[in-house]
Homo-oligomer: A and B are copies of this chain.
Amino acid sequence: MTVDGAQLWTLNQRLLSVVMDACTEELADLGLETKEFFVLAEVAASPYPAEIAVALLLPKASVTVYVRNLVAKGFIRREIDDADLRRHRLVLTTEGAEARDRALAALAAEYDRRLARITPQDRTELQRILQQMLSPG
């Protein structure tokens, strides 16, 4: 018998909601809104607003807002890209990198609380499966 995709999806969806909800307060303590955190965490991999928008499936206008906030909070810094003067290269500040790491740790801790219920073997399994499902194509 095949596993029901919709059911599986709902299950997964709910899991992520619950974990994120549990972390919202800790993120706030670090001075981060949920959406802002996602942007902050993406800066290292995608240092330009346009790239972040694509990576996170967010409208450009929204990224503008989150970046503005993150700059105001001193978590990131804008630099002008010498190669393309329209671009704002985003750079993590020391505080930004620290906040991001702490936020990721908090998230991992909560997720780990869930992961702890399954065996290490299952965790490796899970990672492999998700990676496979997410791979481009």
Contact = CB atoms under 8 A, between A and B. Distances in A.
Contacts of A13: 16
A135 B126 CA distance: 17
A61 interface: no
Interface string A78-121: 00000000000000000000000000110111011011011010
A1 B112 contact: yes
Interface stretch (A3-11, A25-33, A62-70): A3-11
5 contacts: A2-B120, A2-B123, A9-B111, A118-B129, A118-B133
Interface of A: 1-19, 21, 41, 56-57, 104-105, 107-109, 111-112, 114-115, 117-118, 120, 122-127, 129-135, 137
